[in-house]
Amino acid sequence: MEISPFLVVSLNNAMNDFKAEKATDRWLKQNGITAKHFATTDTLLLQAQRTAHNTLKKHSRLLDTDQVSTLKAYLKAMTHQRTQASITTTQAYRVLNIGSTIRRQVFRHHRQFR
């Protein structure tokens, strides 16, 4: 019994799509984003969520207590769809501004030790 080339190509494409989807889900999880709500969430909110997650994970020692509480409150609000709907763009920009401030500090620190 011979397998048609079309079937082989179709099966190969399906496997590649599955691998790509798994890789995407893994990347989203590493950045603190759930794949389930990815398609329905505003891009600005997702950017702020990624920034909050990565800033807390990688640069928590540079944050003061107010910044830590702001980032944690934002991440907590993003976990539930009902509270996510109440997040304003001002809150998202506040998180993004904290992330920018910390990234500037890290850049200055790295530049000093070059």
The pLDDT tens digits of the residues spanning 5-54 come to: 655 566 567 667 777 788 878 888 887 777 777 778 888 999 999 999 99
52 and 100 co-located in one domain: yes
Same domain as 50, residue 20? no
Residue 81 belongs to a domain: yes
Considering the domain architecture, whether residues 25 and 53 belong to the same structural domain is answered as no
Do both 94 and 57 map to the same domain? yes
Identify whether 75 is part of a domain. yes
Is the confidence at residue 95, as pLDDT, over 80?
Answer: yes
Same domain membership, residue 79 and residue 50: yes
Between CA 18 and CA 34, with CA 45 as vertex, the angle to 5 degrees is 30
Q: Which domain holds residue 64?
A: 41-112
- The tally of domains found in the chain comes to 2
The chain-wide mean pLDDT, for the chain, equals: 86
Q: Is the Cβ–Cβ distance between 32 and 53 less than 8 Å?
A: yes
Same domain, 62 and 106: yes
Alpha carbons 35 and 55: distance in angstroms, whole number:
20
Tell me the pTM: 0.76
State whether 13 and 47 are in the same domain.
no
